[in-house]
Structure 1
Amino acid sequence: MKPPNTGTERHRTRARGPATALAAIAAATAVALNLAIPAQAASTLKAAAEARGRYFGTALTRGDLGISAEVNLAAAQFDMVTPGNEMKWDATEPSKGSFNFGSGDQIVSFAQSHGMRVRGHNLVWHAQLPAWVGGVPLNQVQGVMENHITTEATHYRGKVYAWDVVNEPYNEDGTLRQDVFYKAMGSGYIAAALRAAHAADPNAKLYINDYNIEGINAKSNGLYSLAQSLLAQGVPLHGIGLESHFIVGQVPSSLQANMERFAALGLDVAITELDDRIQMPADSSELQQQGTDYGRVVNACLAVPRCVGVSQWGVDDGHTWIPGTFPGYGAPMMWDSSYQPKPAYQAALSALNSGTSSPSQSPSQSPSQSPLSSPSSSPSSPVPGACSATIKTINSWGGGFQSEVTVRAGSSAVNGWTVKWAWPGGQSISSLWNGVSSGSGSSVTVRNESYNGSVAAGASTTFGFTANGAAATPTATCTSP
């Protein structure tokens, strides 16, 4: 999704002097918005996010570092930096076995000098690969991949908070991309990549990162099933990155529910590349809607304890990848091309300062403190009978709720399961994942998908749903053929 940036090719040169002080930028931002900020409220995104146990980050490229006004604004407002292109394969290993970390080191140095942490981006991706990778014999691809991961992650060991180990592995229909890594290793390349990254940088959190997985859909369902499988195998996966490249007014309604189901697996979730593009020219109503979108995203993160932070993919409208990739669209950031704050900034800051939040585990918490296996796969005593099912409410809101259902095998393995229950008060399922539903009226029947019907003796699997109506946890029954 992110095109390469070579120096200034994405930048429009402007004759502007550098900001005189970081505090002045924050103050000017508040004044420009006419914000009545109470004494106890934070005046920057990073301070407000940190008060909620989160971070608020941005993406920077080497070219951005030469623009004083942009980097001063970034340092004033953000506490996490993602290199836009400087850690990708084409930048770090342009020819086989020949590594160059100079550009990435500049981003890391900038972050360290301003008290900001770094999200490493990325180690394995089908795009921005140097041509030589495609010419490697398939029986040598795993060795090449693991050497690349090991060398880069070792170079940045201790300097990176988290790695996007595997980036954008899924097609829109929920199948894995048929890239060089898949062709060589099948789906196992993802586990191999995560294990190599963990061995090289054991204190970094390891993520799978993708776009169009923000809501509950075929693509996010595919990733959810993969995450369950990896965790059940003990693979060191610690988080899911939701890129969040939105079109104004189209933030998915199931964003929070989707984050919650990944969090229920024991994974962190993060908004990693947020932007919200508008068909140009942008009018005032679209800018207000963009503010609503940013506020919704921030509030969704605050509502999920394991959502550790939000990163915008850039700083201002004058330095964004959007127009070059989506002709006719632009203005996706919280600041315009003159570094003036937009309604999106006001909405994000207001949400952080006044929104309702659930405590998050500290983003500095080491991966060893995060579960490496799904709660549904933890050892427990087998239950009698073929299988059992338990419904648990995960979240509720006015007019709806989200639940998770645990299906557990008894003293013998099951090959296929069916769960049934009856709603007590007119509830109805609005979306469902990891199962196939049928039934009518108050009666609900959910059968397994093709990939989760086999459950070992005493083991379990889960499916989830969102529903309309008052939250309910009816008694469920489970049968197996």
Structure 2
Amino acid sequence: MRKSLGAVVPLLAGLLVASPASAAASSLKDAAAAGGRVFGAVAQAARLGDADYTKTLDHEFGQLTPENEMKWNVIERVRGKFDFAAADRLLDHAESRGMEVRGSVLVWHSQLPSWVINIDSGAGLLTAVREHVDGVAGHFKGRIDYWNVVNEAFTDSGARRNSVFQERIGDSWVEEAFLAAEAADPGARLCYNDYYTDGYGPKSDAVYELVRDFVARGVPIDCVGFQAHFNSDHRVPADMGKNLQRFAELGVDVHLTELDVTGSGEVQAAAYAQAVNACLSVPRCTVMTVSGVSDKFSWNVARTPLPIDSDYGRKPAYYSVLDALNAAVPAPK
């Protein structure tokens, strides 16, 4: 694990400086790629005009997830009128840099426009879900590597969340969303995504049963996203690797989709290394994505959760991740 060295190494001071122990690869994306994996970041279209932000995004990350640009209340504020401008800008940038793209999210109980919430019949709401998924996934057909089809359908207790979709359509709404996504963009890999499912527990068990059922019945699902938000109240679980492996054994890939760890210094670095190593222990854990490019524009900025700080400097957490990725690269034969 890298010591703090007093101040973090500046990421943008000329050519990037790699620590000697991490010389095998000097960026997160290159270290991950050498081991057959992808390392990405959640990104914001509005920041692409910021030179430091864009330079860091391009150098460090091989996959991009739009932060809000594909959410329902942004992309279809008025029924049937889609605004793809911001999302298209992100995709154009990703494609010009050879990045993979995770589309996020097709159906989620949060960030909904009022017209969706006000649909009072199950049949009407299901039609709206199908039309929305068809409109969004259809627009991006062939450009998305992975879709977060459904987000956060369960509570921490493992019960179905009492969302507008659950209340008016019933349990079938999750399956219906996956079927619609498969029809609209059959080449993309389809994922269920949730938080606090990293270790064994009632919520993780409920998601596991959903995935097991889908696989058994042939409902299209290719991957499960573990958001992997860690803090003092939710630490990296000791059984994270085993939990990821049990999902992989169902025949799906497992991804860390919004990885972040609040805090600083060596404690934060150790937690990042633990989470990344849990993924690296599972062959089907193929994608790791942090929840932002740097602390500067993080959704949780006050708690400094990312490996790159607000001045685009490399934190101890950056080096703990880089070293873990480099250590996982197979030795040349």
Say yes or no: TM over 0.5. Answer: yes
Structure 2 partner of 1:304: 282
> What amino acid does structure 2 have at the position aligned with 1:111?
A
Identity percentage over the alignment? 39
Rounded to whole Å, the distance in 1 between the matches of 2:112 and 2:44 is: 18
Q: Deviation at 1:356?
A: 7.2
Correspondence 1:282-431 to 2 at 5 A: 286-323=264-301, 329-355=302-328
Instruction: State how 1:452-467 maps to structure 2 within 5 Å.
Output: none
* Residues 262 and 304, structure 2, Cα contact 8 Å, conserved in 1: yes
Instruction: Give the drift of 1:185.
Output: 1.8
SS of residue in 2 equivalent to 1:175: coil
- The offset of 1:37, in angstroms, is 3.9
Give 1:20 shift: 8.3
For CA contacts below 8 A with separation 6 or more, give which structure has more relative contact order: 2
Encode CA deviations 1:51-90: one digit per residue, 9 max, x unaligned: 1110000011122212110110110010000000001101
Higher helix proportion: 2
1:261 aligns with 2:246: yes
The answer for the alignment partner of 1:79 in structure 2 is: 62
Matched, 1:152 2:125: no
| Equivalent position to 2:184, from 193, 200, 220 | 200
Structure 2 residue identity aligned to 1:341? R
Matches of 2:251 and 2:189 in 1, distance apart?
Answer: 13
Amino acid at match of 1:267: V
- In the alignment, structure 1 residue 59 sits paired with structure 2 residue 42: yes
Q: Residue 275 of structure 1 is aligned with which of 260, 270, 286? A: 260
Give the SS at the match of 1:208.
Answer: strand
Q: Which whole-Å deviations, capped at 9, do the CAs of 1:227-265 have from their partners, x for residues lacking one?
A: 111112210011100001111581111110110000000
Question: How much does 1:298 deviate?
Answer: 1.5
- In the other structure, the counterpart of 2:145 is 161
Whether the 8 Å contact between 2:21 and 2:323 is mirrored in structure 1 is no
Q: Is the 8 A contact 2:34 2:329 kept in 1?
A: no
Give the alignment's TM-score, normalised by structure 2.
Answer: 0.92
Residue in structure 2 matched with residue 44 of structure 1 by the alignment:
27
Could you say what the CA RMSD is over the residues aligned between the two structures, in angstroms? 1.6
Structure 1 segment 47-196 matched on structure 2, within 5 A: 47-138=30-121, 139-196=123-180
Kept in 2: contact 1:231–1:237 (CA 8 A): yes
Contact 2:227 2:258 in 1 (8 A): yes
Greater Rg by CA: 1
Q: TM-score, normalised by structure 1?
A: 0.64
Partner in structure 2 of residue 365 of structure 1: none
Q: Where does structure 2 lack aligned partners over 5 or more consecutive residues?
A: 1-10
> 1:20 and 1:346, CA in 2 relative to 1: closer, same or farther beyond 3 A?
closer
Q: Could you tell me whether the CA contact under 8 Å between 1:303 and 1:356 is conserved in 2? A: no
Give unpaired runs (5+ residues) of structure 1.
Answer: 1-17, 279-285, 324-328, 358-481
Instruction: Report the AA paired with residue 35 of structure 2.
Output: R
